[in-house]
Amino acid sequence: MAVMFLLIVFSALYSCKVEGNSADKKAAATYTLLNTSEVKKLMAENKDLLIIDVRTPEETKAGILPGAINLDFNAPDFEQNIDKLEKSRPTLIYCQAGGRSKKVTDRLLGQKGFSSVYELKGGYNEWIP
């Protein structure tokens, strides 16, 4: 009897976990990871490209991609600032090494309705010579 109860509880918990993972996948953005030369080509060919630098203002003192806007990932109003952007424009996102930009592309941009998203592989560290 106790074994049967445990099996039922386990099955219920497992089902919830699987459904939760499915919902997370639906929220993820579809994006393309590009290396530096591919990003340069994208920038040259697409004048409407929205470029978002999600590093801190301190990090951007070392430089920023041409035409990029800085929206600090750690700022309390980061998500509200993302909401103000044109979601129909092709969007390139980057950070210092790729961690924060991946979080943004995976979890936020898809939920916000961005249609065409690119991420700079390795972040700004790969951009600088």
Determine contact, residues 117/31, Cβ cutoff 8 Å: yes
Is 16 marked active-site?
no
Amino acid symbol at 42: L
Determine contact, residues 94/84, Cβ cutoff 8 Å: no
Which three-class secondary structure state does DSSP give residue 26?
Answer: helix
Select which of 29, 95, 108, 117 is catalytic.
95
Determine contact, residues 113/27, Cβ cutoff 8 Å: no
Distance CA(79)–CA(26), nearest Å, equals 19
Give catalytic residues, as residue numbers.
95
